[in-house]
Amino acid sequence: MSDYPSRIESAKLILENGSIKRAATSVYYVQSGRDRDKWYRVEVGPKESCQCKDFAFRVKSGSVDACKHILAIRMAIEDEMSLPLDEEFAKRELPEEPKPPTKEFWEVMEGLKLLTAREAIKI
Ligand SMILES: [Zn+2]
């Protein structure tokens, strides 16, 4: 037996610690157990994904079905735990506001136009 807790046990711990925040219908953020400042973005449903290493290596290669973060969210859903939308995390899912073009952008555009004009003269 290994000393490491199984994925199921780890998932239960995540649930007990309340380290899951809902950001959109099927998007959640799960706090890292080791680094409390780190949150993994996790998508559940037909297209599952997680930003953790376990997902990148073991889930993607098909050796396990899900990482502990996905498991924790699945458990929460099965237990019909209420995970209301968290405003702070929901903001992360919003597309960024379009910004007006910068001065640099116009300089580049000007440069392109000049170049085209010069090339046109050559022709
Ligand atoms: Zn994960």
Over the stretch 38-95, which tens digit does the pLDDT of each residue have? 999 999 988 999 999 999 999 999 999 999 999 999 999 998 888 889 999 999 998 8
Distance 107 CA to ligand 1 centre (A): 43
Task: Give a yes or no: residue 119 inside a domain.
Answer: no
> What's the structural domain count of the chain?
1
Distance 68 CA to ligand 1 centre (A): 6
Task: Give a yes or no: residue 1 inside a domain.
Answer: no
Task: Give a yes or no: residue 123 inside a domain.
Answer: no
SS3 76: helix
Residues 73/42, Cβ–Cβ less than 8 Å: yes
Distance 1 CA to ligand 1 centre (A): 23
Q: Which two tokens stand for residue 36?
A: 């409390």
Cα–Cα distance list, 42 to 21, 24, 76, 99, 122 (Å)? 10, 10, 13, 28, 55
Can you give the pLDDT at residue 43? 96
Task: Give a yes or no: residue 113 inside a domain.
Answer: no
Residues with Cβ within 8 Å of 7's Cβ and at least 6 positions away in sequence, in order, are: 54, 64, 66, 67, 68, 71
Task: Give a yes or no: residue 110 inside a domain.
Answer: no
What is the Cα–Cα distance from 123 to 117, expressed in whole angstroms?
A: 10
Task: Give a yes or no: residue 75 inside a domain.
Answer: yes
What is the Cα–Cα distance from 29 to 27, expressed in whole angstroms?
A: 7
Task: Give a yes or no: residue 116 inside a domain.
Answer: no
Task: Give a yes or no: residue 114 inside a domain.
Answer: no
Distance 119 CA to ligand 1 centre (A): 53
Can you give the pLDDT at residue 42? 97
pLDDT tens for 88-104 read 999 999 887 778 888 88
SS3 20: strand
Residues 67/56, Cβ–Cβ less than 8 Å: no
What is the Cα–Cα distance from 70 to 75, expressed in whole angstroms?
A: 9
Domain boundaries, position 72: 7-98
